[in-house]
Amino acid sequence: MSEPSVNQIQARGVDRMLVRLEHLDKLLNLAGEVIITSSTLHELQRDMVDAVTHHRTMTEGDLQIIKSADEASARISQDLHDLVMAIRMVEIGETFKLFRRPVRDLGRNLKKEIELKFEGEKVLVDKALAERLVEPLLHMLRNAADHGLETPIERIHEGKSETGTLLLKAIEHEHETEILVSDDGRGIDEQKIVERARKTGLIRPSDQLTVLQILCLSGFSTKEKATDTSGRGVGLDLVNTMVGEFGGTVEMENQPKRGCTFRLHIPKLKAVNIIDALIVRCSNTLYALSIDQVVSLQGIKTDQIQASMDRERFIKYLGQPIALFDLSELLGGGISVQDNPEIVPVVILEGKKERIACVVTEFLAPSKLVNVPLVKDMFDRDGTGIAGTCIISGGRVGMTVDINTVVAMATGEPLKPEEDDVSSSFSFSKPAEADKDDFVFSSSVPGSVAIKHSQDELITKAKLSAQRDRIANRIEESSQKDLTETDISDLLTELSRGLMELQDVLLSLENDKDPELMKEAFRRLHAGKGNFTMLGVTSSAGLAHELETLLDHVRKGRIEMSQELMDIMLDGVAELNAATKMLPQTTPEINPTLLSRIDAMMRSLEKNEPVTDPDQLLGTAFTLVPTVELQLLGALKQHAQAYETFIRFKPGRQAEFLVAYLTLRKLCYHGTILATLPSISDIENGHCGSAIKVLWASPLKPEALKEAIDHWAALFNIAEHHSVPTTVFRYDTNAEI
């Protein structure tokens, strides 16, 4: 079929999703109309039975009722179809947001500055399609970041900004959704691609393939050695296969030194497998052909059928020769019996790349049908050309035809990329299994598509019920209000949605210190902690509390939102999301490595508590990072003197942190400050006592320095000060930058 149904492309069930109230209102209204129409038909049936029993003829009023009921039934059916389709639609922007964390991590791993931009977030796609798009889009973004985007120094050399840009863009067309994955990097060296493919033996010297076809070959990679990011030759091959499953195509636009764009053209999905079909008969078998792929119906005289030198038959259509086949024979049903041997009914079908003409026995009327997909194992092999079964008017059973597969079989187009060394078709085939070492989504990303599912992971209803009972018992033991299974399900749904939103807020908070974002992160995290507590899952609630504590330290200015801390926060959210997915079947346990990281962060926070007591300050040594060590060595090479200066202030009206800050500004006139205790940020945030200690470099000799500080000591309310010349060898230089 030209437009795959939801059931054909859905990898896993969509257990639940948000539904707009307006859609529910429309559904209730349609349900009311169905009841009214059913009642009308029931009354009409009674009248007809009465008329037949008493030999009474049908009146004009009876015929009008039948016509009205038929029109109402057709309208309600179409409205229900449209409404189901609308209910299943979600904004593609929700899928795009899932890539913010992976792209951030990619940038860090690759040591590249990457900005991810979105366009067309409001474009609506089917929920099943949105979930299935996660895997191919992830691979394409990964390839663009690794192979396409240059390092910052390369980009500056090419006259670009240091930050590379990845763009995800959705465009809605009448019959398809177009998704673009773009980068502004180096582009693709097409000659290098061809040479690499020939060197590795993936193509022969005589093969004429496009660069895109080569890139989509299984096992092709430009890297000599695989890394955590790429190099196994799986990415674009998987994209090829999965987009083919949607009935879509892939295009590539390459601009050397300016970037590359991949375009995914994906047909819009039909809800509940409803298709507009042309019914044809081949001998005694009925087939349904999607009207969208039926080009023309012809009555061909037998003398108009020609044969080529290799005895293949063809006809002329609009002046062009089209190969002629027997539809029943292609589908394994034998040659169609003709009712009229002089005039042969021929239907012209359009596949993905070519058109063919097919002989049938008879054309029947077009009809709207419900396709029931076949079980995958019904045939010994794929590519039978049969998409499913359907019930045709009159209660007859027919078979729906997969026209793309039929055309491919007729024209010799490979059905599976792995069956031909140089296959370039985007066909219906099973997804390639990605290498287990490939980059995968963090468990914090909802909706991520697993490459392989094991039947062993499925649990029985009895086991599920037992696990739910255990959760109920834990809740009862913790003196919480008893929850029904519906309550538990609702809490888990709310948790999953809230954690996804929390991740998005944290990623925004990393680049924007907006207090409102901080408040929103607190609200989401606090709500998650409360839901875990309601479920009696104390381990996850405790983790949420630890993350909340770290976030509180950031809010109070005690620590900065560093990359290390952001990694801990995001990994913590991922752990909570993984716990949510395990419930209610399994009691989750928190990853001990993550707990160790949080504990280390807490200990470092305690270690970095600002020292405010003067006596304690005197005994605290400076810890130099490598950059400060180099500054200190540079000052010594310039014949400046390095000093440790201790300054204590008299109690006064002005705040101690303000006096300390002004004193440091004054010291800057006489040298370069390298480090302070407490730190500059602590002093600015008011975490300062009645003394400070400064490591700095000054051209002044010790006597001149003492005289200078004595001169303005009264102005800054200084009670005492001591300066000691020092060298770099006195300090611990093992700290990281």
Euclidean distance between CA atoms 378 and 385, whole angstroms: 13
Mean pLDDT of the 240-264 span: 85
What total number of domains does the chain contain? 5
Q: Do 205 and 352 lie in a common domain?
A: no
The answer to whether the peptide bond before residue 102 is cis (omega within 30 degrees of 0) is no
Q: In what order do the strands lie in the sheet with 285-290?
A: 362-370, 274-282, 285-290, 396-401, 386-392, 372-373
pLDDT value at 167 more than 90: yes
Euclidean distance between CA atoms 617 and 649, whole angstroms: 13
Q: Do 565 and 491 lie in a common domain?
A: yes
Taken in order 231, 232, 235, 240, the sign of the CA dihedral is positive
Higher pLDDT, 618 or 309: 618
Distance of CA 205 to the CA centre of its chain: 38
Q: Could you read off the pLDDT of 256-305 as tens digits, one per residue?
A: 888 999 999 888 765 556 778 899 999 888 999 988 889 999 888 888 88
pLDDT value at 414 more than 60: no
Q: Do 104 and 210 lie in a common domain?
A: yes
pLDDT value at position 467? Answer: 44
Comparing 139-143, 380-384, 452-456, 708-712, which segment has the lowest mean pLDDT?
A: 452-456
Euclidean distance between CA atoms 231 and 541, whole angstroms: 40
pLDDT value at position 221? Answer: 64
Of the residues 566, 588, 607, which one is the last residue of a structural domain? 607
CATH code for position 318? 2.40.50.180
pLDDT value at position 451? Answer: 28
- Cα atoms in the Cβ-side hemisphere of radius 13 Å centred on 585: 11
Of the residues 236, 267, 298, which one is the last residue of a structural domain? 267
Q: Could you read off the pLDDT of 460-472 as tens digits, one per residue?
A: 334 444 444 444 4
CA–CA distance from 298 to each of 148, 315, 357, 402, 403 (Å)? 50, 10, 9, 21, 18
SS3 494: helix
Q: Do 292 and 397 lie in a common domain?
A: yes
Comparing 90-94, 189-193, 266-270, which segment has the lowest mean pLDDT?
A: 266-270
CA–CA distance from 626 to each of 335, 734, 737 (Å)? 83, 8, 7
pLDDT value at position 206? Answer: 67
Higher pLDDT, 284 or 204: 284
pLDDT value at position 425? Answer: 30
pLDDT value at position 234? Answer: 53
Mean pLDDT of the 325-340 span: 86
CATH code for position 720? 3.30.70.1110
Q: Where are the alpha helices (DSSP H) in 383-460?
A: 403-411
Euclidean distance between CA atoms 36 and 30, whole angstroms: 10
Of the residues 577, 592, 607, which one is the last residue of a structural domain? 607
pLDDT value at 6 more than 90: no
pLDDT value at 382 more than 70: no
* Angle in degrees, CA 172, 173, 174, rounded to 5: 130
pLDDT value at 48 more than 70: yes
Comparing 100-104, 416-420, 429-433, 522-526, which segment has the lowest mean pLDDT?
A: 429-433
Q: Is residue 335 part of a domain?
A: yes
pLDDT value at 312 more than 60: yes
- Would you place residue 134 in the very low, low, confident or very high pLDDT band (cuts 50, 70, 90)? confident
Euclidean distance between CA atoms 98 and 135, whole angstroms: 11
CATH code for position 146? 3.30.565.10
Closest CA to 323 of 383, 385, 386, 407: 407
CA–CA distance from 692 to each of 586, 645, 713, 732 (Å)? 54, 8, 14, 20
Q: Is residue 533 part of a domain?
A: yes
- Would you place residue 247 in the very low, low, confident or very high pLDDT band (cuts 50, 70, 90)? confident
Q: Do 256 and 320 lie in a common domain?
A: no
pLDDT value at position 435? Answer: 36
pTM: 0.53
SS3 592: helix
- Would you place residue 358 in the very low, low, confident or very high pLDDT band (cuts 50, 70, 90)? very high
Mean pLDDT of the 55-73 span: 77
Q: Do 244 and 110 lie in a common domain?
A: yes
Q: For residue 134, what are its two tokens?
A: 């996660």
Comparing 169-173, 372-376, 565-569, which segment has the lowest mean pLDDT?
A: 372-376
Mean pLDDT of the 117-140 span: 86
Q: Is residue 707 part of a domain?
A: yes
Q: Is residue 4 part of a domain?
A: no
CATH code for position 589? 1.20.120.160
- Would you place residue 359 in the very low, low, confident or very high pLDDT band (cuts 50, 70, 90)? very high
DSSP class of residue 347 equals E
Closest CA to 677 of 627, 636, 731, 633: 731
Q: Is residue 393 part of a domain?
A: yes
Comparing 201-205, 314-318, 357-361, 701-705, which segment has the lowest mean pLDDT?
A: 201-205
CB 536, CB 478: distance < 8 Å: yes
Q: Do 79 and 22 lie in a common domain?
A: yes
Q: Is residue 485 part of a domain?
A: yes
Q: Is residue 414 part of a domain?
A: no
Q: Could you read off the pLDDT of 596-635 as tens digits, one per residue?
A: 888 888 777 655 566 677 777 766 767 666 677 777 777 7
Euclidean distance between CA atoms 654 and 660, whole angstroms: 10
Averaged confidence pLDDT in the chain? 76
SS3 328: helix
Q: Is residue 442 part of a domain?
A: no
- Would you place residue 212 in the very low, low, confident or very high pLDDT band (cuts 50, 70, 90)? confident
Helices 461-477 and 485-511 meet at what angle, rounded to 10?
Answer: 80
Q: Do 96 and 238 lie in a common domain?
A: yes
Percent with pLDDT over 90 in the chain:
8
Q: Could you read off the pLDDT of 655-689 as tens digits, one per residue?
A: 788 888 888 888 888 888 888 888 888 888 777 88
List of E strands, 212-360: 249-255, 259-267, 274-282, 285-290, 294-301, 306-307, 313-317, 320-326, 343-350, 355-359
SS3 629: helix
Q: Do 669 and 722 lie in a common domain?
A: yes
- Would you place residue 223 in the very low, low, confident or very high pLDDT band (cuts 50, 70, 90)? low
171-175, 359-363, 577-581: which is most confident: 359-363
Euclidean distance between CA atoms 61 and 81, whole angstroms: 30
pLDDT value at position 737? Answer: 31
Q: Do 256 and 151 lie in a common domain?
A: yes
Euclidean distance between CA atoms 643 and 726, whole angstroms: 6
3-state secondary structure 198-236: HHCCCCCCCCCCCHHHHHCCCCCCCCCCCCCCCCCCCHH
Q: Do 510 and 597 lie in a common domain?
A: yes
Euclidean distance between CA atoms 728 and 737, whole angstroms: 17
pLDDT value at 511 more than 60: yes
Q: Do 657 and 681 lie in a common domain?
A: yes
**What range defines the domain where residue 657 resides?**
614-730
Mean pLDDT of the 343-362 span: 89
Q: For residue 307, what are its two tokens?
A: 């044969």
- Would you place residue 448 in the very low, low, confident or very high pLDDT band (cuts 50, 70, 90)? very low
